[in-house]
Chain A
Amino acid sequence: MSNLSRRKLITTGLAATAGVAGLGVAARFAQKYGLVPPDHRGIFGLGETLTYASQRLLTRHSLAREFSPSQISKPPFANETAPPSDAFKRLQTGGFADWRLSIDGLVDRPGSFSLAQLKSYPTRSQITMVQCEEGWSYIAEWIGVPLHHVLDAVSVQPHARYVVYFSIQPDWWDSINMTDALHPQTFLVYGMNGGELPVGNGGPLRMRVPRQLGYKSVKFITHLTVTDNLKTFGKGLGSAAPEGGYAWYAGI
């Protein structure tokens, strides 16, 4: 019996050591391959990191589901947003002619783009689902320019890790890593269902990240920053969402 318990003790000890060493290796691996979300601290950090890491590994090259034109939701659904800011209303009265998207950070040619300039890039469309974390959803055709075209135009530097994007509405910003930023379905959207993008759906310019829940697809985009460190933005949690208690990664 004492032999058995000694053997048990040794095996348990070895297993525990291997476990701790394995966790250490896993943590190093996860950091190196960008599998740790910026909101990984706190009591829910474990689940959040497991979700982000496993989904990143599973979905590196996957495409969000696309639907047929007959599946487009009629009538189109526009959820409520905060009342437009004064800055937004000023641009709206001018028919958004003066709307600008500025891009800076780790890029060789920082610049500012008008909607007309963005529309001069290759136009692409996707019929994808907007899924809110609340539970509702709708399908629409989204027309715009893939974000990677715009990032190519400003020439992103090799050590870039995230793209941070800001709405004209105060305290509304988010970020995605370069895998999502360069993903073929990540669009700067200016059109919807064959027409202009309605204000209720984020017009004149919104982000579309269709492999994540709706709140990643921030409306009324005016500014992009390319960075290698999210700690310098807001409270350092990666976006406004974790500051309001919501996860940075919204793939689930």
Chain B
Amino acid sequence: MAGVESVHAPLGVCAPSSTSSVPVTTAPSRHSVFVRVTHWITTLCFLALLVSGLEIVISHPRFYWGETGNVLTTPLFKLPIPSSRNLVPTGYGYVLPDQNGWSRYLHFQAAWIVVLTGLLYIISAFFTGHLRKNLLPRKADLSLRAFSATIINHLRFQRPSAAEAWSYNLLQRLAYLFVIFVLFPLIIWTGLAMSPAFVSAFPVTVTSLGGQQSARTIHFFVSLALLVFLLIHVVMVWLAGFRSRMRAMITGRAGTQTELP
């Protein structure tokens, strides 16, 4: 419980930003308990949403733009995969088993849990200073030189310095901010825009996207973007030292011991 966050929390709300230089005397956590718990709940929910989402998509692997779309209309594009419905012309001679029932139940349950977790995370990130200290780019990062140095280090697949084990670098911060404040809101919005009941109360949520099928297509692309983020995230953790980074996110302890990749 002696996380960096919780040590600073009582001060952080009203104190000026210089609190970040307060020396930490107790053994600090790399990640606060709150960040660790929300991280792993989000991970589990995202994997559940990914699997169930894929199962739902294969019942109609065609995408459209506008309000409506079905097998009699021209799709925007088709996924070259077999379908779990014999109604859909896929070019394959067989039909996959129908998994839509539990997939839909699981999709919405995981969505509820991850959305509520995300709300708690955002609220806490504002009030504990996590957002300001760990996610918003540092002033020093915002020079062109620092920015290009980070990019070059990434392009060279250079292992991060020991100091970097204690904070996020600029590209990490930008990636996390993009996921939290752009991709997550967008995937929730486009998901709700597919709900006939939700849009009956808030029609502008779907009309502003160009229609219900447009919302479904955008939802698909945003989920792809999130999948790309997940893959890069895992590769980066691997390159930075899988065991130490995993230990930091599970136990909170960030070792400075070197390890072989």
Q: Which A residues are within 8 Å of any B CB, using their own CB?
A: 5, 8, 43-44, 46-48, 50-51, 55, 58-59, 62-65, 67, 71, 73, 75, 77, 79-80, 129, 131-139, 210-213, 244-247, 251-252
Q: Which B residues are within 8 Å of any A CB, using their own CB?
A: 1, 56-57, 59-60, 62, 67-73, 85-87, 100-102, 104-106, 108-113, 192, 194-203, 206, 212-213, 216
**Mostly helix, strand, loop or mixed at chain B's interface?**
helix
| CB atoms of A67 and B67 under 8 A apart | yes
Contact A51/B67 with A59-B197, A210-B196 known, Cβ cut-off 8 Å: no
CB distance from A158 to the nearest CB of B (A): 26
| CB atoms of B104 and A64 under 8 A apart | no
Q: Which residue of B lies closest to A47 (CB)?
A: B109
Q: Which residue of A lies closest to B199 (CB)?
A: A65
| CB atoms of A135 and B200 under 8 A apart | no
| CB atoms of B105 and A48 under 8 A apart | yes
Contact A139/B108 with A65-B203, A245-B101 known, Cβ cut-off 8 Å: no
Q: Which residue of A lies closest to B203 (CB)?
A: A65
Q: Which residue of B lies closest to A76 (CB)?
A: B72
Instruction: Please pick, from A44, A65, A67, A210, the residue contacting B106 in the complex, using a CB distance under 8 A.
Output: A44
CB distance from A72 to the nearest CB of B (A): 10
| CB atoms of A244 and B101 under 8 A apart | yes
Q: Which residue of A lies closest to B99 (CB)?
A: A245
Instruction: Please pick, from A8, A47, A71, the residue contacting B105 in the complex, using a CB distance under 8 A.
Output: A47
Contact A73/B70 with A51-B108, A211-B196 known, Cβ cut-off 8 Å: yes
CB distance from B20 to the nearest CB of A (A): 21
- The list of the 5 closest CB pairs from A to B, nearest first, reads A245-B101, A47-B109, A251-B197, A135-B60, A44-B105
Contact A129/B195 with A46-B109, A46-B112, A63-B200 known, Cβ cut-off 8 Å: no
| CB atoms of A73 and B195 under 8 A apart | no
| CB atoms of B56 and A211 under 8 A apart | no
17 A-B interface contacts by CB (under 8 A)? A46-B109, A47-B113, A48-B108, A50-B112, A62-B197, A129-B68, A129-B212, A131-B194, A136-B62, A136-B70, A137-B68, A211-B200, A212-B197, A247-B108, A251-B196, A252-B192, A252-B194
Residues of A near B206 (CB, < 8 A) are 65
Contact A252/B67 with A58-B201, A131-B212, A135-B60 known, Cβ cut-off 8 Å: no
| CB atoms of B200 and A62 under 8 A apart | yes
Q: Beyond the given A73-B72, A137-B212, please list 8 additional residue pairs across the A-B interface where CB-CB is below 8 A.
A: A43-B109, A44-B102, A51-B108, A59-B198, A136-B60, A136-B70, A247-B105, A251-B195
